[in-house]
Amino acid sequence: MYGVRLRKYAPCPMRRSNPSNLPAELNRFVGRDDEMRELRGLLTRFRLVTVVGVGGVGKSRLVLRAAATTEKRYCDGVRLAELAPLRDSGLLEQAVLDALGLTDHTRRSPREVLAEHLAGRRMLLVLDGFEHLVDECADLVRELLRRSPGLTVLAAARCPLRLDGEAVLPLAPLPDDDAVRLFTDRAAAVLPGARTPDGGPAEGGPADDASVRELCRRLDGIPLALELAAGRLPVLTAAQMLHRLDDRFRLLTGGTRGAPPRHQTLRTAIGWSHELCTPRERLLWARLSVFPGPFDLEAVEYVCGGPDLPADEVLDAVAGLVDRSVLVREETPAGVRHRMLDTVRAYGAEWLVALGDRERMRRRHRDWYMGLASWCELEWFSPRQAEVAVCAAGALPHLRAALELCLEDPEEAHLAQHLAATLWFCWVGCGRLAEGRHWLDRAVAADRGHDEARLRALWVLGYVAILQGDDTAALAALYECREGAARTGNALAGAYTTHRLGCLALLSDDMPRAEELLTRALSVYRELGELNSQVLMGQVELAMAKVFLGDAETAVALCREVREVCEDRGERWTRAYALYVLAYSAWTRGAYGEARELLGECIAVDHAFNDLVGLVLAVELLALVTAAEGDPAEAAVLQGTAVPMWEAVGLPLFGSGYFGAPRALCAQRAGEELGAERFRSCLAEGGALTLDAAVARALSGRPPLDRVPPGRVPPRRARPW
C-alpha cells in the first residue's frame, strides 16, 4: 500500500534520466523555515504529500523549493506538471506525460504509458494547481502510486486529494516578521537605491516605516498580496496604501458569502491593484483573462483591441500592467511572452463577465489562434519549420481552448474539425499523436453536416490512427473519407485517403499494395498541383516500398528528388525520412561511411522535432552500420538505446518484417562476435541512457575500427536479408 511510511531512505548513487524540469527561482525565497523542515520530513515518510491553502498563500513556491532541495534523493529526478492551465480533464494524463518528457505513438492509453514508465523508477512528481480536476487527479495518482513503488508525489492545491496514506500540510500565511521581510525584499527590487551592495534592503528604506508592519498585518501575511503591495511602492507609500484599503476598497473586502476572511483579503489586494490601473489597463486586464497561457503582443493587439482600446495603445497598456505586477514577462523558446497568475486572471474574468463581453472575447481569441494554426501549417513547408514547431508547442493552451470553444456549440463543431485537421503537423511531426487523436475523435463525432471540414478531419484521423497502430479505427475513418470524397467529387480528399491507405499497407508489410496505392496518390497530387510535406512524405514512403522490394535504384532517385525539393524549400522533417532511405540503400551497397553521415543528419533532425518514429528507425540502422564497420560492442549499445524508444513508439507497429530487419541482423552479428553475456551487457548500457544522451552517443561519430571486415551486402530480392 502506497500510504505505508518509509522508515529509511537511502540516497541514490546515480541518475538515470533527466533530473528535473523545475523553473529557476527569479527572486529570493523568504521565510517558511519551519514549513520547509516539516515538508522535507514528510517526504521521507510518505509517498503522497499535499500542501493546501488559500490562493496566493505561497503553496507553489514552497513545493518547488522543497522539490529542488530534495532532488538528489531521487535517482530519476524531479518532474513538475503544472495543471492549472488545463481545462479538459481528458488531457490530464497527457499533461503528465508532457511533464515527464514522454512521447508515445502506441494504442496504449496515456495512463498505461505513465504507469509502465514510472514502474521501475525512483522519482518525485510535483503536481501543481489541480483543484478544478481533483477527482480525476486523485484517481490517476492512486493508480500511479499503486503501480510504481519508487514514485513519490508532492502536490499543491487549495484542497487535498483525500487518498489513503496522504499527508496533508496546511499552509498558513506568513507570520508578521516574515511578512515584513518579504515585503521589504520585494520593495528593494522596485525602488532605486533601496538595496545595499550585499543585496539586502537599505537602512532607512521602506521597512523602517511603521506603516509597513501595519500593511503586512492588514494583508494577513499572504505572499501574493504582499508582493502586489510592494509593486505599488513606486507610486504609493505604505501609508497611502493603508488609506486606500480603509476607504476606497471597502466594498471589495466582503467577498462572497462563506468565503474565508483571508481569501477576502486577497481579493482586496488584487482589487486595489485593479483600481490603481488606468481605465484602459483595467479593460485590457479583463480581456486578457481569456488567454489560458502565455501570450505575445500580436495576439493581444488582435484579440483585445477595438474602438475603446486602439491597437496602437495596447503596447502602453501591456507595459503598465507589467509595471503593476499584473503581467509577468518571461523568455520562452518562442520569444518574449507575458502571462497572468491564475488568481489575477480569475479576477479579470469576473470583470469581463460583468462587462458582458466574455463570449465575444473568447471568439476573438479562438479566431486568432485558428489563424495562427493556418499560418503554422503553411510555414511548416518552409525554412521556418523549426520555428513553427516551437510556436505550436507554446500555443497549445490556446489551441486547446479554441478547440474546446468550437466543440461547445454543435453549430460550430465543423470549425473544430478544421482546426484539429490543420494541426496535423503538430500531432504527427512534433510527437503529439495521443492529443491529436483526442481532439480528432471528438471533432469527428460532433458534426456530420460539413463535408469539406469533415473529410479533412477523417483522413488526418486515419493518419494518426495508423501511426498509433490502431488499424481498425484508421480503416473506418479512411473508408468513410473515401466514400465522402467520391460522393462530393473531392479529388484532393480522395488522394489523401489513397495515400494513407498506402501508408497502412507499407506498415503492414504489404509492399506491392503499398507501391500501387502510393503511386496512384502521387499521380493525383501531380494532376492537382498539390505539393507540401505530406506529398513529399508519400514519395518517401513509395521509395521505402521500392527499396524493400529490391528496387534500390528507383528508391534512390525518388529520395534524391525529395531531398532537392526539401533543400529548395527549407523543409527538414520529410527530408530526414528521405535521408533514412538513402542511408538504407548506402548500407546495402557497403558504403558505410556515406550511410553513417546520412543517418547522423537524420537523427539530429528527428530529435529536434521529437519524432520518435523516425529517430528509432535511424538509430537501429546506425547500429547495423556500426556492426558492419567492425565495432559490435558500440553497435549493441546503440541498439540498446532504441529499446526505450520502442516502448514509446510501439514495437509491433514498425518492429517486424521489413522495418524490423536491421534490428534482427544487428543482433545476430553483434551477438555472434560478442557472445550472449557481453551483448546483453552492452544492450543494458544503451538502455540506461536518457534520450538526449542516446542521441549524443549516436552523433558522437566514433570512427570505425582499423579492422573493418568486408561488408556483407545482401543479394537483391523481395526482402533484402
From 45-49, 92-96, 162-166, 217-221, the region with the lowest mean pLDDT: 217-221
With a CB cutoff of 8 Å and minimum separation 6, the contacts of 357 are 286, 287
What letter represents residue 463's amino acid?
Y
715: pLDDT confidence band, cut at 50, 70 and 90?
Answer: very low
**Where are any strands of DSSP class E within 97-185?**
123-128, 151-157, 166-170
The confidence score (pLDDT) of residue 185 equals 86
Q: Report the chain's mean pLDDT, rounded to a whole number.
A: 85
Q: pLDDT tens digit string along 534-553?
A: 999 999 999 999 999 989 99
Query: Looking at residue 294, what is its pLDDT?
Result: 92
Q: What is the mean pLDDT of residues 220-240?
A: 81
| Percentage above 90 pLDDT, the chain | 55
Phi, psi torsion values for 468, nearest 5 degrees: -85, -5
- Quote the cell numbers at residue 684: 543494458
For residue 432, pLDDT over 80 is answered with: yes
* Topology classification of domain 277-356: Arc Repressor Mutant, subunit A (1.10.10)
Least confident of 192-196, 213-217, 433-437, 543-547: 192-196
Q: How far apart are CA 27 and CA 223, in angstroms?
A: 13
Predicted local confidence at residue 20, as pLDDT: 80
Provide the residue type at 227 as one letter.
E
Per-residue pLDDT band at 431 (split at 50, 70, 90): confident
pLDDT band at 501 (very low <50, low <70, confident <90, very high): very high
Q: Which of 108-117, 245-254, 307-316 has the lowest mean pLDDT?
A: 245-254
What is the spatial order of strands in the sheet that 166-170 belongs to?
Answer: 78-82, 123-128, 151-157, 48-52, 166-170
Best-predicted range by mean pLDDT among 90-94, 138-142, 344-348, 711-715?
138-142
Is the pLDDT score of 243 beyond 70? yes
DSSP string of 199-251, one letter each residue: SSBPTTSGGGSHHHHHHHHHTTT-HHHHHHHHHTTTT--HHHHHHHHHTTTGG
pLDDT at 708 over 60: no
Given this model, what pLDDT does residue 131 score? 84
Rounded to whole angstroms, the Cα distance separating 617 from 602 reads: 10
Of residues 556 and 613, more confidently modeled:
556
Residues 6+ apart with CB under 8 A from 706: none
Residues in contact with 84: Cβ distance below 8 Å, sequence separation at least 6, in sequence order: 128, 129, 130, 132, 342
Q: Which tens digit of pLDDT belongs to each residue from 692-706?
A: 999 999 998 654 433
Distance CA 225, CA 667 (A): 62
Is residue 248 over pLDDT 80?
A: no
Q: Write the DSSP symbol of residue 88.
A: -
Please state the φ and ψ torsions of residue 4, each to the nearest 5 degrees: -60, 135
For residue 171, the 8-state DSSP code is: -
Range among 145-154, 174-183, 199-208, 211-220 with highest mean pLDDT value: 145-154
Instruction: Specify which residues 154 forms β-bridges with.
Output: 49, 126
Segment 332-350, tens digit of pLDDT: 888 889 988 877 888 899 8
pLDDT greater than 50 at residue 252: no
Distance between CA atoms of residues 236 and 276, nearest Å: 10
Distances (CA, A) of 254 to 39, 115, 257, 270, 345: 33, 46, 8, 13, 20
Q: Are 181 and 193 in contact (CB under 8 A)?
A: no
Per-residue pLDDT band at 716 (split at 50, 70, 90):
very low
Q: Report which DSSP code applies to 17.
A: S
> What is the rounded distance in angstroms from the CA atom of residue 214 to the CA atom of residue 216?
5
Region 309-329: mean pLDDT is: 86
Q: What is the mean pLDDT of residues 135-156?
A: 94
Rounded to the nearest angstrom, the gap between the alpha carbon of residue 206 and the centroid of all alpha carbons in its chain is 42
pLDDT at 196: 40
At residue 260, does pLDDT exceed 50? no
Percent of the chain having pLDDT more than 70?
Answer: 88
Contact 191, 235 (CB under 8 A): no
- Residue 484, pLDDT > 50, answer yes
Q: Which residues pair with 79 in a beta bridge?
A: 125
Predicted confidence at residue 656, as pLDDT, reads: 61
Q: Is the pLDDT assigned to residue 189 strictly greater than 50?
A: yes
> What is the model's pLDDT at position 255?
40
Contacts 24+ apart (CB under 8 A), 340-343: 340/288, 340/289, 340/291, 341/224, 342/55, 342/84, 342/129, 343/55, 343/56, 343/224, 343/266, 343/270
Question: Tens digits of per-residue pLDDT, 58-73?
Answer: 888 899 999 999 988 9
| Per-residue model confidence (pLDDT) at position 685 | 93
Q: Which residues contact 344 (CB under 8 A, 6 or more apart)?
A: 270, 285, 326
pLDDT of 520 strictly over 80: yes
* Residue spans per domain, the chain: 33-170, 176-275, 277-356, 594-721
pLDDT at residue number 287: 97
Q: What is the per-residue pLDDT for 25?
A: 73
Give residue-wise pLDDT tens across range 642-687: 988 887 776 566 656 788 888 889 999 998 898 989 999 999 999 9
Integer Cα distance of 469 and 340 in angstroms: 40
**Topology of 33-170 in CATH?**
Rossmann fold (3.40.50)
Query: Of 102-111, 496-505, 534-543, 570-579, which gets the smallest average pLDDT?
Result: 102-111
> What is the CB neighbour count within 10 angstroms for residue 662?
24
DSSP label of 568: H
User: Is pLDDT of 326 > 80?
Assistant: yes
Greater model confidence, 232 or 126? 126
